[in-house]
Amino acid sequence: MSRGKKCPACKKGTPLWFISWADMATLLLCFFVIIVAYSTVEITKFKELAGTFKDQFGVQRIEKISPILGSQNLIGSEFQQEVRLVELREKIRVLATTLIDNGQAEVEEKQEGFLLRIREDSLLTGDGKKVVEGSGFILDQIANLLVNERNIVEVRGHVDAQKEEGTSLEGNNWYQGAVMAVVLAKRLAAGGVAPERLFVSTSGQYSPVADNNSPEGRKANRRIEIMIRKDLAGTLPIKDDAEKNIPEEKRY
C-alpha cells in the first residue's frame, strides 16, 4: 500500500465464513463423540438397561449386537479371502513357470477368480484320456496347494474344430472336452482335493483362443482350464474321527 493512504477500517463482529467453519467443526466433533460412545459401552450400564427392558416388556432374552464390529468382521473376512486367493494365484504361477515360459500355459485373472490355462499336449496323451508321465507332478503340486482350501475348483475341457466322427458319442467334440476335464479332475481328487469342491464342464470347440485353420492354432485351442473361484464350498466332509459316529441328520 502506498504511503499516505490509510488502511480501511475493519468491520466489527465475526466474519460470516468463520460461523460456517465453526458449525462444521462442531458437527464433526459430535460425530466422533457418537462413534466413541458406540464403541465403548459400559457393561454395567448396559446390563441395568437390559434388566429394565426385561421387567417392563417381558423380554425373555436380550443379546448385545454390535453392528460396527459385525461390519468390521465381515469386511476383514472378505479381505482375507481376497489376499488368500492372490497368494494361491502366485504360488500356482510359480509351479507352472516352466510351462508358462515355453508358451504352453498361462495364468489369467478373472472377475470370478483366476484360471490356469494349459495346452492339452503338455499334460495329456493324444486321445486326451491319460495324464502324460512326467507331467502329472504339476497337477499333484497344485492339488497339494488346494487341499486345505475351500475354494470351488472348476475344470473345463476345450478342443479344436476338428471334424466330428458321425453321430457317435465318442466322436462328439463336447464329449472329448468332457473326457479331458474328467481326467484332470480325477487327478486333483486323488491328490486330496475334496470332490465336493470339483466341478467339470466342457465348451467343446465353441470357445477358441486361436485360429483353427492352422496347426498351431488347433494345438492352442485343445486346452484345459482350471478355474479357482472366489466362491467357497458350503459343506465339506467331516474328517474328525470323533465326529464320524454322529448321525448324518444331526451334522449341522
Q: Looking at the domain assignment, is residue 51 inside a domain?
A: no
212-241 burial: b if 16+ Cβ within 10 Å, else e: eeeeeebbbbbbbbbbbbbeebeeeeeeee
- Residue 196 lies inside a defined structural domain of this protein: yes
Does residue 4 belong to any structural domain of this protein? no
Q: What is the pLDDT of residue 32?
A: 78
Q: How many domains, the chain?
A: 1
Grid cell in block for residue 69: 464390529
Long-range contacts of 33-39 (CB under 8 A, 24+ apart): 38/68, 39/68
Q: What CATH number does the domain containing 127 carry? A: 3.30.1330.60
Q: What is the pLDDT of residue 79?
A: 79
Sheet of 198-204: strand order equals: 105-110, 113-119, 223-232, 151-158, 198-204
- 83 within domain boundaries: yes
Residue 242 is predicted with a pLDDT of 42
Name the stretches of the chain with pLDDT < 70: 1-15, 18, 37-76, 165-166, 235-252
Candidates 123, 120, 168; CA nearest to 142 is 123
Give me the pLDDT at residue 238, please. 46
In a domain, 43, yes or no: no
Asked whether the beta carbons of 115 and 160 are under 8 A apart, the reply is no
Domain annotation covers residue 204: yes
pLDDT of residue 10: 66
- With beta carbons less than 8 A apart as the criterion, state whether 190 and 115 touch: no
Q: What is the pLDDT of residues 85-118, one digit of tens each?
A: 999 999 999 999 999 999 999 999 999 999 999 9
- Residue 59 lies inside a defined structural domain of this protein: no
Amino acid occupying residue 233: A
Indicate the pairing of strand 223-232 with strand 151-158.
antiparallel
- Answer whether residue 169 is part of any domain: yes
Which domain covers residue 218, as residue numbers? 73-232
Q: How much is the pTM? A: 0.63
